[in-house]
Chain A
Amino acid sequence: MNILVCISKTPDTTSKISFKSENKEYNPDGISFIMNPYDEWYALVRAIELVEQNGGNVTTITVGDASNDMIIRKGLAIGANDAIRIDINPKEPFEAAFQIAEASKQKPYDLILLGKETIDYNGSILGSILAELLHLPFISFATKLELSGKTFTVTREIEGGEEICQVEGPCVISAAKGMAEQRIPNMKGIMTSKSKPLNVMAPVAYQNKVEVLTFTLPGEKKGVKMLSPDQMDELVALLHEEAKVI
C-alpha cells in the first residue's frame, strides 16, 4: 500500500514569539523548529508501521521552502521511503491543502495521513479541505487506526469520549495522541536518510483566499493576587464579586 503523510515544521512551543515587517510576519530568526508533533509521533509512525505489516511505501509531503529540508530528512530517518517538497511557503491552510491535492493527483495513494493540527496555528482544517479537493472520505482526531483488507477501523476523539467508525480506502485521516508511539531515528536511519529521494516540485498557481493583516502580543496579566490557605472564604468572594466567574 502507498501512504502519503503530510508533515510540516512548527516552532517549538517553548520558543519566544516575535514578529517583523510591521507585525505582518512571524519572525523565524533564532527560533528552533521541529516537525509538528502530531505529524511526526502519530501520523508518520503509524504509516511506517502499516507498511511494515502490509508492504508498500511511505512518502512524506511538505509545502514550504528549503528550510523544511531538515525536518523532511528527519522523517526519512524515522523510516519514510521518499519525500516530496512543494517549493512555496503557504499563506493559509487552504493553500497548503490545494498544493498537496494537486501533487497527489499525479499518483494515487491508498491512505493520506496527517496530524490533527499544527501546534502554532491549530487550524485543524487542512485534512478536511484536502479530502474535499480529492473527493475522498475524511476521519479526524483518530487515536487508533487498524486496517483489514481495504477497510480502516478508526477510533476518534469527540467531546468527553470517543467514537468508533469504519471507512473504505482511499481516504484521509488525521492523527491524534494514541495512534502510535514516538520513534527516535537510529544511526542507520540517519545515514540512509541522506540518500533517499527528496523530490522538489514547483507549486501550482493559487489565489489566496485569506491573509494575515497583523499579529499582536496580548497585554500583560494584571499580576497575581496571593492568598493564604486560611483565606478561602475571601478567595470565593473574589471569584464571585471581582472575577464574576461563580
Chain B
Amino acid sequence: MSVLVFIETTNGTIKKSGLEAMYFGNLIAAQKNTSCHAVLFGNADKANILGKYGAKSVFYIDYSKGFDTGIYTEGVLSAAATVGADIIIIAHTFNGKSFAGSVAARWNAGIVTSVNALPNFDNGITVTKSVFSGKAVATYRINTTKAVLTLAGNSIQIQESGSEVTPQKLDWTPSEPKVKVLERKTSEGLVPLPEAELVVSAGRGMKGPENWGIVEELAKALQATTACSRPVADTGWRPHHEHVGQTGVAIKPNLYIAIGISGAIQHLAGVNNSKTIVVINKDPEAPFFKAADYGVVGDLFEVVPKLTEAVKKFKSSQ
C-alpha cells in the first residue's frame, strides 16, 4: 500500500503540473498513513526536488524515445509493483490523459480523470470533478481497491514539505515503442497555456491580428500566457494552440483576462473554472460580464494600455 506519482518532464525539467501531482500524492499518502513515490522517464538531473514535495523515493527510467502509451503504461506499472502502490496519480496533461486509461485497464483499476480535490477514504474512494462544461460537479466512488486518478491543473496549492532525494534507476528495461515520435515542435520559453496561472485572452473585438501588440504588452507586463477565442484562431489571426473553449483547450488559471470576447457559452466552457475572471468589453450587455469577477465597460484600445501601465507601476513598486 503506497501512492505512486507519474512525473512528466520536458528535457529533464519538471512541469508545474508534475509538482502539483507530487504534492497531491503526498497529501493522499498522509491521509492513508503510507508513503508516496515518484517515477519519471528520461533525464533525472533535476528530480531531487521531488523529495521536497513529498516523494520518499524517486525512480527514473532510462528512456528518451518520446511518448508512447504502451511504454509509459508498462514503465509506470513496473514502478507501481516496485513500491507496492495501490493508487497512481497522473497530472491531467495531454500525455497524462493519453495513457492514464491504459494504466487503469492493464491494472484492472477504477479511474477518474481531472479530479479537482483530495479524495475521501471513508467509504471506498470518493473523488470530485467538474462536468458539463463547468456547470456541475460530480462525486464518484471508485469500487476497486486500486485506483488511477488524473489531477486537473491548478487544483491545489503546492508547498515544500520535505527534503531532496536522490533518484534511482528503475530496474526495468523498456522494449521498442510502437509509436515512433519523428518531430516535436513547441513554442519555446512560454508557459504552455494549460499550465499558465495568468492568462490574457482576446477575441474578435480586436478587429485584426495587427492590433495584438497591446495584448502582448499586457501579457508581458504580467508575465502571463496569451490565449484567444475560436473565431480568432479559425481566421488565422492567432495560432491554433491559443484557442480556448469547448472545442479548444480547457484552462483553469488563477487569473483570466478576457478582452473583446463576448462570452459565448462554448467559450465559457473552457474558462469558467478560472479562479478570477476580468472582462473588458465595450458592450455592457456582453454575456461574459455574468461570469466575471471584475468588469470594465470601455473601448479595449483605450482600456488595455491603461491596464498595462497600471500593472507596470504595481510591479515596479513591489
Question: B-contacting residues of A (Cβ < 8 Å)?
Answer: 11, 13-14, 17, 19, 37, 92-94, 97, 119-129, 131-133, 137-141, 143, 153, 156-168, 171, 177-178, 208-218, 221-222, 224-233, 235-240, 243, 245-246
Given A163-B183, A216-B137, are A128 and B69 neighbors across the interface (CB < 8 Å)?
Answer: yes
Q: Is the CB of A129 within 8 A of B93?
A: no
Question: A-contacting residues of B (Cβ < 8 Å)?
Answer: 15, 66-70, 73, 93-95, 97-102, 104-106, 109-114, 126, 131-144, 178-187, 190, 192-195, 197-198, 222, 240-241, 243, 246-248, 250, 254-255, 265-266, 269, 275-276, 278-279, 289-299, 302-303, 306-307, 309-311, 313-314
The residue in chain A whose Cβ has the minimal distance to the Cβ of B289 is A224
**Which of A171, A211, A216, A226 has a CB less than 8 Å from the CB of B136?**
A216
Q: Is the CB of B95 within 8 A of A217?
A: no
Smallest CB separation, A234 vs chain B (Å)? 9
Q: Is the CB of A213 within 8 A of B182?
A: no
Smallest CB separation, A134 vs chain B (Å)? 10
Given A209-B144, A210-B111, are A157 and B94 neighbors across the interface (CB < 8 Å)?
Answer: yes
Q: Is the CB of B104 within 8 A of A129?
A: yes
Q: Is the CB of A245 within 8 A of B102?
A: no
* Residues of chain B contacted by A14 (CB below 8 angstroms): 265
Q: How far is the CA of A126 from the CA of B310 in the complex (A)?
A: 47
**Which of B109, B131, B307 has a CB less than 8 Å from the CB of A235?**
B307
Given A224-B294, A226-B296, A236-B311, are A163 and B184 neighbors across the interface (CB < 8 Å)?
Answer: yes
Smallest CB separation, A142 vs chain B (Å)? 11
Q: How far is the CA of A90 from the CA of B291 in the complex (A)?
A: 33
**Which of B109, B144, B187 has a CB less than 8 Å from the CB of A161?**
B187
The residue in chain B whose Cβ has the minimal distance to the Cβ of A163 is B184
Q: Is the CB of A166 within 8 A of B105?
A: no
Given A121-B131, A165-B180, A224-B289, are A213 and B94 neighbors across the interface (CB < 8 Å)?
Answer: no
Q: Is the CB of B101 within 8 A of A127?
A: yes
Given A162-B185, A222-B293, A229-B296, are A119 and B133 neighbors across the interface (CB < 8 Å)?
Answer: yes
Q: How far is the CA of A238 from the CA of B255 in the complex (A)?
A: 12
Q: How far is the CA of A221 from the CA of B246 in the complex (A)?
A: 20
* Residues of chain A contacted by B131 (CB below 8 angstroms): 120-122, 215
Given A131-B102, A158-B184, A164-B181, are A238 and B294 neighbors across the interface (CB < 8 Å)?
Answer: yes
Q: How far is the CA of A155 from the CA of B278 in the complex (A)?
A: 34
Q: How far is the CA of A10 from the CA of B101 in the complex (A)?
A: 21
Q: Name B's interface SS.
A: mixed
The residue in chain B whose Cβ has the minimal distance to the Cβ of A98 is B105
Given A132-B101, A245-B276, are A233 and B313 neighbors across the interface (CB < 8 Å)?
Answer: yes
Q: Is the CB of B140 within 8 A of A213?
A: yes
Q: Is the CB of A221 within 8 A of B297?
A: no
Q: Is the CB of A236 within 8 A of B265?
A: no
Q: How far is the CA of A133 from the CA of B70 in the complex (A)?
A: 12
Given A17-B132, A209-B144, A213-B140, are A137 and B179 neighbors across the interface (CB < 8 Å)?
Answer: yes
In the complex, 21 of the A-B residue pairs with CB atoms within 8 angstroms, ordered by the A residue number, are: A13-B246, A19-B136, A93-B111, A119-B133, A120-B133, A129-B102, A138-B99, A141-B98, A157-B94, A158-B94, A159-B193, A161-B184, A163-B183, A165-B182, A229-B303, A229-B306, A233-B313, A233-B314, A235-B310, A236-B310, A243-B293
Q: Is the CB of A123 within 8 A of B113?
A: yes
The residue in chain B whose Cβ has the minimal distance to the Cβ of A161 is B186
* Residues of chain A contacted by B15 (CB below 8 angstroms): 159
Q: How far is the CA of A164 from the CA of B67 in the complex (A)?
A: 11
* Residues of chain B contacted by A11 (CB below 8 angstroms): 132
Q: Is the CB of B298 within 8 A of A228?
A: yes
Q: Is the CB of B296 within 8 A of A221?
A: no
* Residues of chain B contacted by A246 (CB below 8 angstroms): 198, 222, 255, 311, 314
* Residues of chain A contacted by B247 (CB below 8 angstroms): 37, 177
- In addition to A162-B241, A233-B310, 10 A-B residue pairs with Cβ atoms within 8 Å of each other are A17-B135, A120-B132, A125-B97, A163-B185, A212-B138, A213-B141, A221-B292, A222-B293, A236-B311, A243-B276
The residue in chain A whose Cβ has the minimal distance to the Cβ of B268 is A13
Q: Is the CB of A140 within 8 A of B142?
A: no
* Residues of chain A contacted by B111 (CB below 8 angstroms): 93-94, 125, 129, 209-210
* Residues of chain B contacted by A132 (CB below 8 angstroms): 69, 73, 101-102, 105-106
Given A160-B193, A165-B182, A243-B293, are A177 and B248 neighbors across the interface (CB < 8 Å)?
Answer: yes
Q: How far is the CA of A198 from the CA of B125 in the complex (A)?
A: 39
The residue in chain B whose Cβ has the minimal distance to the Cβ of A126 is B101
